[in-house]
Amino acid sequence: MASSGSGYDLSPTTFSPDGRIFQVEYASKSVASSGTLIGLKCSDGIVLACEKLLANKMLVPGSNKRINTVSKTSGCAFTGFVSDGRQIVNRAREEASSYLDTYGIPVPPSVLADRLAHYVHYFTLHGALRPFGASMVLGCYEEDMDEASLYMVEPSGQVFKYFGCAAGKGRQGAKTEIEKLDLSTLTVAQGVKEAARIVTMLRDDGKDKPMELEISTVAAENNYVHKPCEKSVIAEAEKWAKEQIEEEEDMEEDED
Amino acid sequence: MSTLSFSLDPTAAQTTPSQRTQYPIVTGTSVVGLKYKGGVMLAADTLCSYGSMAKYKDARRIRTVGTNTIIGASGEYSDFQSIMDTLEGHTQDDVNYDDGHKSDAKSIHSYLRAIMYQRRSKMNPLWNDLVIAGSGFLGYVDKIGTTYEDDFIATGFGSYLAIPILRSKWRPDLTEGEARALLEDCLRVLFYRDCRALNRIQIAKVAEGETGVVSEPYELETNWEGAGFESTKGGMEGDGGW
């Protein structure tokens, strides 16, 4: 063992001497290098937006979705390993439908988020298992509060409730941009555009792979039904986003 | 000596055969449905009886599945609720797949056929006669898995009292209003003669190219002054009709 900490990264069952679990950190790394994902809690609902990096130009548009419906009034978006993400989506769907079967009411977002976190966390405890290489953002309507709420589950099994959250490559920049928004007055309709702007803005067109933007909403105007946005709505949001970004760049040039 | 019909000793041989549903408990009566020009319509009252007692007077027996299909149910109400839970689960699965596919009335009818037949073959039927309607489709499935499609369908007492009316009055070019009036006539006769029927009804339709809608319950006008209701029967004096 050359330096302190080496040799402790082969299994999530063992802490390193300075108290870290390297396998979990590596899992988070694989999320950190994949497409940007953001979630916004607007005044009248939730917006989820995801940058789907296209591995191949021959892909059929709309394939390999990263935003999925979980139940009538909840949806989720993930980034990281797509196959790992899908596993969490399946689990979310099972939890949602079994809760509905058992108790006759939709699963409360806090319960769903909690159960997913337990599921993900379980994979960080066993030598025979590998942590999930995906982060999951949940947008879900809460009947008791009559509002939608936003949660993010991370590969470590941590879960928090957010006003705005981000994961993936552009998360730092995205968080900075989200903090500039007034989420208490921002509507879902505006949120869709802002989300498109933030995701587009953080891209490096020279270096980044081509992408497809996915957006969905859990909005009051749709009775809080989770709905992936129509292609035309996304195209319009992207157009608006590009105009905004160009305007900003022009202003910066003028200042120089 | 124990009188229990089951044994507390799990290793003991069963003394009586296990028994499944042999009769319904809380039941709804007839459902009547017909095709008309431009759509399909169903009607049923909102009564659920506990034996001969009129127990629940706001039991909605016609419901939508997804957006394009409506189902009306006679028979055991809890079995109907269970069937609807299952179908709603399938509808959500369709939404989750997110490929634009939706199950239509024809496939739901076929699915229910399979379920009803499987259950009766296990000697444990779902005690319902169902009428399934969707765009251009009107079908029937009963508790033993029999199916048919027709231009008009009635379950339960309706197959005796509503079918003769429909045979003489139904036309393929009925307008929506005529269709509704005809169904109301059928349910009115059923209310007069079927002791498990109620004059509080719901009408539902799936019009071509539109989503299914179920009306709020409303009351039928009735008239009990007909000679048949006023004359005494069986030599009993002064007790009304019979």
Chain B residue closest in CA terms to A73: B92
Predicted pLDDT at A6: 78
Closest CB from A71, A72, A228 relative to B98: A228
Predicted pLDDT at B5: 58
B92: which chain A residues are within 8 Å (Cβ-Cβ)? 71-72, 97
Predicted pLDDT at B1: 45
Is residue B241 pLDDT above 80, yes or no?
A: no
B95: which chain A residues are within 8 Å (Cβ-Cβ)? 69, 72
The residue-averaged pLDDT of B9-23 equals 73
Is residue A77 pLDDT above 80, yes or no?
A: yes
The residue-averaged pLDDT of B159-186 equals 98
Distance, first Cα to last Cα, chain A? 53
Optimal mutation site among A60, A64, A88, A97, interface B, most CBs of chain B within 10 A: A97
The answer to whether residue A81 is domain-embedded is: yes
**What residues of chain B, 56 to 85, have a C-beta less than 8 Å from chain A?**
85
Global pTM exceeds 0.80? yes
CA quadruple A207, A211, A217, A221: dihedral sign: positive
Residue B22 banded pLDDT, cuts 50, 70, 90? confident
Active-site residue, selected from the candidate residues B15, B16, B21, B67:
B21
Distance (Å) from the C-alpha of residue A71 to the closest C-alpha of chain B?
7
What would the pLDDT profile of A159-177 be if each residue is shown by its tens digit? 999 999 999 999 999 999 9
The answer to whether residue B67 is domain-embedded is: yes
Chain B residue closest in CA terms to A99: B89
The residues near A116 (Cβ < 8 Å, ≥ 6 apart) are A88, A91, A92, A95, A136, A138, A153, A159
* Pick from A136-140, B3-7, B8-12: least confident: B3-7
Is residue A243 pLDDT above 60, yes or no?
A: yes
Of B192, B197, B195, B194, the C-alpha closest to B230 is B192
Burial of B237 (0-12, 13-18, 19+ CB in 10 A): exposed
Query: In this structure, how many other beta carbons lie within 10 angstroms of the beta carbon of residue A77?
Result: 28
A65: which chain B residues are within 8 Å (Cβ-Cβ)? 98
A70: which chain B residues are within 8 Å (Cβ-Cβ)? 96
What DSSP letter does each residue of A151-213 carry, written as one string?
EEE-TTS-EEEESEEEESTTHHHHHHHHHHS-TTT--HHHHHHHHHHHHHHT--TTTSPPEEE
Of B147, B149, B143, the C-alpha closest to B121 is B143
B92 touches chain A (CB under 8 A): yes
The residue-averaged pLDDT of B176-195 equals 97
Predicted pLDDT at A165: 98
Closest CB from A65, A69, A101 relative to B95: A69
The residues near A152 (Cβ < 8 Å, ≥ 6 apart) are A39, A135, A136, A137, A138, A159, A160, A162, A165, A167
Q: Do A69 and B85 count as a contact with CB atoms less than 8 A apart?
A: no
The answer to whether residue B60 is domain-embedded is: yes
The answer to whether residue B115 is domain-embedded is: yes
Distance (Å) from the C-alpha of residue A175 to the closest C-alpha of chain B?
29
Q: How many contacts (CB atoms, under 8 Å) link A and B?
A: 16
Long-range residue pairs from B175-182, CB within 8 A, at least 24 positions apart, any chain: B175/B36, B175/B37, B176/B36, B176/B37, B176/B38, B176/B39, B176/B41, B176/B205, B176/B207, B178/B36, B179/B34, B179/B36, B179/B39, B179/B41, B180/B41, B182/B34
Chain A residue closest in CA terms to B84: A101
Q: What's the total number of domains in chain B?
A: 1
Q: Do B89 and A97 count as a contact with CB atoms less than 8 A apart?
A: yes
Predicted pLDDT at A46: 98
The runs of H, that is alpha helices, within B32-155 are 77-97, 105-121
φ, ψ of residue B157 in degrees (nearest 5) = -60, -25
Query: In this structure, how many other beta carbons lie within 10 angstroms of the beta carbon of residue A13?
Result: 13
Chain B residue closest in CA terms to A98: B89
Task: Output the furthest CA–CA distance in chain A (Å, rounded).
Answer: 63
The answer to whether residue B59 is domain-embedded is: yes
What's chain A's average pLDDT? 94
- Residue carrying structure tokens 């004059």: B199
CA atoms within 13 A on the CB side of A177: 21
- ipTM value: 0.88
Predicted pLDDT at A255: 75
Predicted pLDDT at B238: 58
Cβ(A136)–Cβ(A76) under 8 Å? yes
The residues near A112 (Cβ < 8 Å, ≥ 6 apart) are A70, A74, A92, A95, A96, A99, A138, A140, A151
Interface of A with B (CB under 8 A): 65, 68-72, 93, 97, 101, 228
Q: Do B96 and A68 count as a contact with CB atoms less than 8 A apart?
A: yes
B89: which chain A residues are within 8 Å (Cβ-Cβ)? 97, 101
The answer to whether residue A14 is domain-embedded is: no
- Residue carrying structure tokens 């957010």: A162
What CATH number is associated with residue A203? 3.60.20.10
Residue B2 banded pLDDT, cuts 50, 70, 90? very low
* Catalytic-residue membership of B86: no
Q: Which domain holds residue A119?
A: 30-255
The residues near B41 (Cβ < 8 Å, ≥ 6 apart) are B33, B34, B35, B133, B176, B179, B180, B183, B203, B204, B205
B96 touches chain A (CB under 8 A): yes
What CATH number is associated with residue B134? 3.60.20.10
Q: Do B92 and A97 count as a contact with CB atoms less than 8 A apart?
A: yes
Q: What's the total number of domains in chain A?
A: 1
Q: Do B96 and A65 count as a contact with CB atoms less than 8 A apart?
A: no
Predicted pLDDT at A207: 82
SS3 label, residue A47: strand
Percent pLDDT > 70 in chain A is 98
Distance, first Cα to last Cα, chain B? 49
Q: Which domain holds residue B51?
A: 26-219
B78: which chain A residues are within 8 Å (Cβ-Cβ)? none
* Pick from A18-27, A95-104, B13-22: least confident: B13-22
Of B157, B159, B228, the C-alpha closest to B196 is B157
Measure the CA–CA gap between A165 and A174, rounded to whole angstroms: 8
Q: Do B95 and A228 count as a contact with CB atoms less than 8 A apart?
A: no
Chain B residue closest in CA terms to A66: B98
The answer to whether residue A212 is domain-embedded is: yes
Measure the CA–CA gap between B34 and A117, rounded to whole angstroms: 51
